[in-house]
Structure 1
């Protein structure tokens, strides 16, 4: 954990040409944070500058869904964006680059980017479900009246969409010095199998309704958590949630999807936690979100022409 805390960072910020004056404002704010490890900031509208020799890429820019827009139209617009981003990574970035896709639909955008960067291992691509993971952890903690740090091993399965499955069957809660299962700590199975799940699934929409803007600070924090775990690893006995490439060998999830699994990370390498018992309730929810991802993938791949 020490090496990650002491690593100086050069930030390369890519945006479209009309947004460069706005990007200058972001640069000023970053400078004004007086961050101890921020060595240099390079704002640019050129892919060959932004992607050159990258160690880490965070792909945030996607086409948001507009009112009246069909999902397939959204996918078509995003396939074009992430095909280009993947190709630029393939051409300019290090082959060891760790790529995190945040722009929605994140799982399928991540798959498109990975397919468009054939010389970079698919394991180097992940999508952000850490925000959902943090939301689930926080909901359990608030219900128990404890800090979120006392809750571990929640899982987000599947798509970063309203079909995702927040699972607490393997979650542990530390209350008054005792480690309890989540179900024993909360003692309200109906809430855990009902409102808890829908609250986490629909939290992004609730934030938009209240703020009139989508999640910003919580998403940024989740991105930092995700990247820090890739660099520093997960703690012994703990796992986190990440959208990663499915080879079809875990929990009956089809191959060639980016699907959120519980993972443990060591030496910058993630490994799916494979030994968890899955009951019928969980299995049906895991299958439903996989079915949505298969449909998204097939639509996207048709646009990609591969």
Structure 2
């Protein structure tokens, strides 16, 4: 998707730097062969490597996909400890080797929000706002649930919000969403006509969708996660449609009562490679309660990650 122009546009040539761990270099070579065999006109080069210094040299944008997955019996602190080490190395490599105007660093590997915060901490010469975490998969899942419920194509649903952490505490919020029905935009609440469903089944389904996918296919989301990463980066790079917004995990300034200096998912509008939190949306008591819970989890994760860093 990246190499054929779905992300940075149909006229942007690019060179892919592919980083993996040493035991996977043989597999990575196979990926390089497949990329060559795709005969992609925009792809002007591929650099496969297991060295972060090589991988991040002069890059303008980065997808950080690799992270230590949570295993059965693993405490969250153990997961954070393993990931601090990974994202410390990647942050330092970005700081030292990436282009100084590297605009977009998207963290996909979980726990994505806190991993993005850690990565940013170890890349002090790169502005904090250039690091984001992916909650677009959750947004896409939420849009799909609304579309299914109303019986419209998923492209007819816009302005669904994911607040907070990319975890089971996230708050999928359709109270500001719009649905295009027969050429007319109506509020999702009017289209669904079931507030109880919106606050229970809908929220619960989106929060637990990742676990449901794992239960069904015995592996984490793959294709849908890749598509979401491309959606996130495309909108960041090329800009959002006027009056529409998307969800991105960004460094919090305290908007909507969220804790400051954590990576929190907000509704954002983007233009010229920069994001801006959409302000002034009404937030009811139910939403405030949900935002407080996910914010608390992010503060706990930050505290645990920093205790590992400072140990």
- Of 106-115 and 173-182, deviating more is 173-182
- Equivalent pairs, count: 305
| Gap regions ≥5 residues in structure 1 | none
Question: Match of 1:142?
Answer: 148
Cα distance in 2 for residues equivalent to 1:189 and 1:32: 50
Alpha-carbon spacing, 1:194–1:115, altered in 2? closer, same or farther (3 Å): same
User: How far off its partner does 1:47 sit?
Assistant: 1.5
- In the alignment, does 2:205 pair up with 1:199? yes
User: How far off its partner does 1:33 sit?
Assistant: 2.7
- In the alignment, does 2:268 pair up with 1:299? no
Alpha-carbon spacing, 1:115–1:2, altered in 2? closer, same or farther (3 Å): closer
Q: Decide whether the 8 Å contact of 1:126 with 1:244 is kept in 2.
A: yes
Q: Decide whether the 8 Å contact of 1:4 with 1:231 is kept in 2.
A: no
Cα distance in 1 for residues equivalent to 2:188 and 2:163: 17
Question: Match of 1:276?
Answer: 281
Cα distance in 1 for residues equivalent to 2:97 and 2:300: 31
Which of 152, 155, 161 in structure 1 is aligned with 2:161? 155
Question: Match of 1:87?
Answer: 92
Q: Decide whether the 8 Å contact of 2:29 with 2:48 is kept in 1.
A: yes
Which of 127, 131, 140 in structure 1 is aligned with 2:133? 127
Question: Match of 2:3?
Answer: none
Which of 189, 213, 229 in structure 1 is aligned with 2:219? 213
Cα deviations across residues 122-155 of structure 1 (Å, max 9, x unaligned)?
0000000000000001110111111111000000
Which of 105, 114, 120 in structure 1 is aligned with 2:111? 105
Cα distance in 2 for residues equivalent to 1:262 and 1:238: 9
1:1-306 matched pairs, under 5 angstroms: 4-97=9-102, 98-248=104-254, 250-305=255-310
TM-score, structure 2 normalization: 0.96
| Gap regions ≥5 residues in structure 2 | 1-5
**Aligned-residue RMSD, C-alpha:** 1.4
Cα distance in 1 for residues equivalent to 2:273 and 2:196: 38
